[in-house]
Structure 1
Amino acid sequence: MLRRSQRPSRRSPRRAAVGRRSFTATLGALENLVDSGAQVSVHVVDLDSHVHVLAGDDHVTMPVAGLGVVPLLIEVAAGFESGALDPLEIIDRSSVDEVSTSGLWRHLHAPALPLEDLAVLAATAGDPIAVNALLRKVGHDRVRGRIEALGLRRTAVLDRFRDKRGPDDAPQVAVGSTRELAGLFSALVNSAVVDAAVSARVSEWLSLNQDLSLVAASTGLDPFAHDHDAHGLLFVNKTGRDRGVRAEAGVLAGPRAGVAYSLIVCFDDLSITHRLRAHDAFRVLGVELMEYTH
């Protein structure tokens, strides 16, 4: 788990592509996190050459919080395309498990929304009630089956969002590995998830994501209107946040190159300083991804 206390010597989470930047600043930031007791996993792959330009403990399964919504969105989109789900089916909020700690829908006056709007809310704002509604509609079994069909062995959606987790609840909403999550985003933008129509629908939803505070903070994109960037920057991402968990996966493509990436950091959220140190590592990765692709 890249935890320094478990290793007799330091090992950097590194593997850099020949002829490219070595991601020196990112490696330093991640090493500092490891030294402070955090668990770190990272994977970056070049979309054209398929070379793994950066990797560290990318096989390890770790909590990913709301990033686990991506397999759910894939199953929902597949249902829309096959006709198994009606995008305009109305879901009443009162029929869904309430979550009062975050989200947008709980602040809206609309007591009911169609499934496709819920998918947009889940993708753009990580709305927990919208996610719970979608998960209730399609069911855990179908999401699990979709994950298996995608060949993901270290990724799982374990539970719905809850205000509090009791001893009988799953300890996490979702888990995954950075290698699988980066690969999943690469497959999405290459129209290889289920089929071209499903890949395009999910990519479109995720391209509207408004959480650009981690890796994407270095892109200069408008959080509310970045799907058609004036400088030709392609960016699709999803983040996950929980107490002591920060996770992100996505695709960044510029004029020189394109990459799929994923970074997960699990840390002791003891103070603002601990949290900001984790956030800074994501932003440093973002800077070096921008340098790699431009």
Structure 2
Amino acid sequence: MGTSSEPSPSRVTVRRSQRSTRRLPRRAALGRRSFDTTLRTLDRLAASGAQVGVHVVDLDSGEEVLLGDDHVTLPIAGLGIVPLLIEVAAGFADGTLEPFEIIERSSLDPVTTAGTWRHLKAPALPLCDLAVLAAATGDPLASNALLERVTHEKVRARIESLGLTRTALLDRYRDQRGPDDAPRLAVGSARELARLFSELVNTRVVDPAVSAQVSEWLSLNHDLSLVASATGLDPFAHDNDAHGVLFVNKTGREAGIRAEAGVLAGPRAGISYALIVAFDDLSIMHRLRVHDAFRVLGVELMEYAF
């Protein structure tokens, strides 16, 4: 890892829980481009009982600059619709899906806990607009409509074709999950999700056209409240930033789950990242400590890229 005059990579323990003393492998970037503060913050989260998975990789060199339980499969909530968007984009590209095919909202089971489409007057939308809604706002009804149209089987096959073995879209969005339903919307590992975003921006997912389409959809994401809170970007218009910040991300939120994966690029470097935290959402302070960990990672990603 460089000449003998270079400092050794930082090694800070990120513990999986209070009940585990196992030290996890990880590497921080050299010199000023380190993630020591992130590691200490995640270590405190893990010590409090949270499960943490993190993976950060340099886009150009492929070097893994931050690791921690990145192989562990954890719930990822709405972040799990990225393979669905890939399948939809592939269908548009090969002609098996018509972008302007109209989907009636009344044909879907209602989801009333979140979303934008349920508040709109338009009772029907084309698939291409539903893909934008799903990517930009995480809209549950839009995501369910896409999933119903392309089917779980095709999404599962697409995930397998991408070589993802620890990532799965298990179910659609629901207001309530019963004993016969999947316990979670989606699961994944930080390593696979960071690598997936790296492949997307490097146009190696399915083909360049599909990669570009999915990246364009995800560049519209409005949720910049976690890692992206450190970027200073406009949540509603950040696909062409005046300061040269290239940013593409997707977040996932459920009770006790926060997840984000994305790509951040600046003049010094480009980097792909994923952070997943499963925690006891016992109070607003528990939640804010988790959100702060994402922000700390965002600050150090910005320092790495700029």
TM-score normalised by L of structure 2: 0.94
Q: Which residue of 2 aligns with 1:104?
A: 116
Residue 8 of structure 2 is aligned to residue 4 of structure 1: no
d(CA) in 2 for partners of 1:87 and 1:104? 20
Residue 271 of structure 2 is aligned to residue 284 of structure 1: no
User: What is the DSSP-based 3-state SS (H/G/I as helix, E as strand, rest coil) of the residue aligned with 1:246?
Assistant: strand
Matches within 5 A, 1:220-239: 220-239=232-251
Aligned residue pair count? 293
Check conservation: 1:14, 1:27, Cα contact below 8 A.
no
Check conservation: 1:43, 1:179, Cα contact below 8 A.
yes
Out of 116, 131, 155, the residue aligned to residue 167 of structure 2 is 155
- The residue type equivalent to 1:261 in the other structure is Y
User: What is the DSSP-based 3-state SS (H/G/I as helix, E as strand, rest coil) of the residue aligned with 2:299?
Assistant: helix
Matches within 5 A, 1:116-127: 116-127=128-139
d(CA) in 2 for partners of 1:2 and 1:165? 30
Q: Which residue of 2 aligns with 1:56?
A: 68
TM-score normalised by L of structure 1: 0.98
Give the Å deviation of 1:12: 5.9
Check conservation: 2:29, 2:35, Cα contact below 8 A.
no
Q: Which residue of 2 aligns with 1:167?
A: 179
Q: Which residue of 1 aligns with 2:41?
A: 29
- Runs of 5+ consecutive residues of structure 2 not aligned to the other structure: 1-13
Matches within 5 A, 1:111-260: 111-260=123-272
Check conservation: 2:15, 2:47, Cα contact below 8 A.
no
User: What is the DSSP-based 3-state SS (H/G/I as helix, E as strand, rest coil) of the residue aligned with 1:120?
Assistant: helix
Bigger CA drift: 16-25 or 167-176?
Answer: 16-25
1:31-63 CA distances to partner (integer Å, 9 max, x unpaired)? 110111000000000001100000000001100
User: What is the DSSP-based 3-state SS (H/G/I as helix, E as strand, rest coil) of the residue aligned with 2:228?
Assistant: helix
- Runs of 5+ consecutive residues of structure 1 not aligned to the other structure: none
d(CA) in 2 for partners of 1:146 and 1:155? 11
1:142-189 CA distances to partner (integer Å, 9 max, x unpaired)? 000000000000000000000011111100000000100000000000
| CA distance 1:79–1:28, shift in 2 (3 Å) | same
Q: Which residue of 1 aligns with 2:5?
A: none
Check conservation: 2:136, 2:220, Cα contact below 8 A.
yes
Give the Å deviation of 1:5: 2.9
Out of 65, 77, 84, the residue aligned to residue 77 of structure 2 is 65
Check conservation: 1:13, 1:30, Cα contact below 8 A.
no
User: What is the DSSP-based 3-state SS (H/G/I as helix, E as strand, rest coil) of the residue aligned with 1:159?
Assistant: coil
User: What is the DSSP-based 3-state SS (H/G/I as helix, E as strand, rest coil) of the residue aligned with 1:6?
Assistant: coil
Q: Which runs of 4+ in 1 moved over 6 A?
A: none
Bigger CA drift: 53-62 or 12-21?
Answer: 12-21
Q: Which residue of 2 aligns with 1:47?
A: 59
1:110-159 CA distances to partner (integer Å, 9 max, x unpaired)? 00000000000000000000000000000000000000000000000000
d(CA) in 2 for partners of 1:182 and 1:171? 24
Give the Å deviation of 1:20: 5.3
d(CA) in 2 for partners of 1:175 and 1:99? 20
Check conservation: 2:80, 2:186, Cα contact below 8 A.
yes
Check conservation: 2:34, 2:304, Cα contact below 8 A.
no
Q: Which residue of 1 aligns with 2:9?
A: none
Kindly, what percent of the aligned residue pairs are identical? 73
User: What is the DSSP-based 3-state SS (H/G/I as helix, E as strand, rest coil) of the residue aligned with 1:235?
Assistant: strand
d(CA) in 1 for partners of 2:25 and 2:136? 30
d(CA) in 2 for partners of 1:13 and 1:161? 35
Check conservation: 2:59, 2:271, Cα contact below 8 A.
yes
Check conservation: 1:121, 1:127, Cα contact below 8 A.
yes
Check conservation: 1:255, 1:293, Cα contact below 8 A.
yes
Query: What CA RMSD, in Å, does the superposition of the two structures yield over aligned residues?
Result: 1.2
- The residue type equivalent to 1:247 in the other structure is A
d(CA) in 2 for partners of 1:2 and 1:172? 24
d(CA) in 1 for partners of 2:167 and 2:213? 21
